[in-house]
Chains A and B, each alone.
Chain A
Amino acid sequence: MRDVAVIGIGCTTFGEKWGTSFRDLFLEAGALALEDANLSGEGIDALYVGNMSAGRFVEQEHIGALIADYSGMASRHIPSTRVESACCSGGLAFRQAVIAVASGLEDVVVAAGVEKMTDVETSTSVDALAAAADREWEGFVGATFPGLYAMIANDYMHRYPLTREQLAQVAVKNHYNGARNPIAQFRSEITIDTVLRSSLVADPLRLFDCSPITDGAAAVILAPLERAREFTDAPVRVLATAQASDTIALHDRRDISTLDATVVAGRRALEMARLTPSEIDLVEVHDCFTIAEICAIEDLGFCRKGEGGRLTEEGETALGGRIPVNTSGGLKACGHPVGATGIKQVCEVVQQLRGDAGRRQVEGAEIGMTHNVGGTGASVAVHILGRA
């Protein structure tokens, strides 16, 4: 297998982008990534696109072909593949692209993610997102995504020490970071009171415990490491790619408060990179809800089970802390265009490793990790990136 490098990144701003269509979102991110890699588009061998539910959100399927066409690649007939794994679609698109380059089959490959979520009413998007859970046996009885994660939170708080304030601190920290990220959907700082005074969505989770509905796209360009310096002075090496799955329904899990797929994918990634959690300088985790970040930092091995709340409260996961988590603002503040999130996480880590993260820069960052979850933990992708 060949070593693989990220040679270009591009990300739209995230938010409610009424003026921008599905295809325009993708084109904007793709163009930024090509420009970043000093490529015209002619050198691209293949496209992988993470997208969860264009069928429900914009009534469009066949996304691979659509994007190849509007990117001007139809006449070159390059392979273009849509990758779907709910909110983990972007992470898996990245992994597919890494595997394609590592195998030697393809050289310069685009891994992208896109989701246009605000062309339908909120209740429709809530229902489309619920399709990431088991429709027949969870959705049928009234389960929503906030509801499922709320049941994780209640189970967790029943078994481990975690205060409501510690949970709110996850959102406070991620808004602080988001306020320092030019692409973030929410660029305002909040307090613990903001979270505790927001309306209940599914007890104990409140509105400010939840990631928003977002339009956005992100793209990265991959090449063999040996060719990376043809395109960029600051290539970032892919040190590990890992993926794991688990039961689709939360009720069938071994342990409701532990995402076993995160544990396994995290362990596989660390083994592949021959690293320990203490050697990771920053991590982008899948904080679709505040409780999800607490579970993620524990399940990835940054602290023991039950210590996530204290770690957050003590500022160890904030900028300047022992292990900065979600410097982009995470899904909570940067926004969560579901299919794009996994790629945006890679963009953030690459920016950090290049030293280009401005006011949210982690000083001297050399190794970063991304953690992207589908559903309540039925699919997980973990990647580790390092300065080349």
Chain B
Amino acid sequence: MSVPRFWRKIRQRYNLEGTRCTSCGRTFYPPRSFCPDCRRAGETVPFRFRGRGEIVTFTVIRTASDAFAQQTPFVLAIIQLEEGPRVTGQVVLEDVSEARIGMRVRPVFRRIGTEGESGVIYYGTKYVPDVPYPDA
């Protein structure tokens, strides 16, 4: 992915910023600038998601494209956000066999991938099990 292509979505990727339709209230992440329900009657404004949710379905990716080859095996999931939409994201687990449908997760800021050894490092949102922080 080219630098400008990544750069222009930094806010949305780092901060889980999607959109909300002011007409029907439906929220969108990934962001949509056009509400599919209200169409021209709707107007969308930025909406920041807290990003808590649960795993609807998942897989463990064992064979990935070059950009992700060093991360395998990793858990990829579709997550139902409490605030409405579903998103695709990685779930960070010490042991990939711990992933479960229905597992509660929360978002974390992580490195997503790198473009070769000297290319851009992409950051964004991954998910971790939504458990209380351990006592310090």
Interface of B is mostly: strand
The yes or no answer to A365 lying at the interface (CB within 8 A) is no
- Give per-residue flags for B1-41: 1 if the beta carbon is below 8 A from chain A beta carbons, else 0: 10000000100010000000000000000100000000000
Q: Quick one: which of B13, B59, B69, B78 has the most chain A CB within 10 A?
A: B59
A151-B86 CB under 8 A given contacts A144-B65, A250-B78? no
- A200's partner among B1, B60, B113, B122 (CB-CB below 8 A) is B60
Residues of A with C-beta under 8 A to B124: 140-141
Q: How large is the interface on A (under 10, 10 to 19, 20 to 34, 35 or more residues)?
A: 35 or more
Residues of A with C-beta under 8 A to B66: 123, 127
The yes or no answer to A155 lying at the interface (CB within 8 A) is yes
Q: Quick one: which of B9, B63, B86 has the most chain A CB within 10 A?
A: B63
Chain B nearest CB, measured from A199 CB (Å): 7
For chain B, residues 30 to 55, give those with C-beta under 8 angstroms from any C-beta of chain A: 30
A144 near B89 with CB under 8 A, answer no
Q: Quick one: which of B13, B71, B76, B101 has the most chain A CB within 10 A?
A: B76
Residues of B with C-beta under 8 A to A135: 1
B interface residues, tally (CB under 8 Å):
35
Report the separation of the CA atoms of residues A238 and B30 in the bound assembly, to the nearest whole angstrom: 40
Q: Quick one: which of B13, B30, B64, B88 has the most chain A CB within 10 A?
A: B88
Residues of B with C-beta under 8 A to A130: 65
**Besides A151-B78, A203-B59, 9 other CB < 8 A contacts?**
A123-B69, A126-B64, A142-B67, A150-B59, A154-B58, A158-B57, A202-B63, A202-B76, A205-B59
Binding site for B on A (CB under 8 A): 123, 126-127, 130, 134-138, 140-144, 146-147, 150-155, 158, 199-205, 249-252, 256
- Closest 6 pairs between A and B when the two form their complex, measured CB to CB: A150-B59, A155-B57, A251-B86, A137-B30, A203-B60, A127-B65
Binding site for A on B (CB under 8 A): 1, 9, 13, 30, 56-69, 71, 74, 76-78, 85-90, 101, 112-113, 122, 124, 126
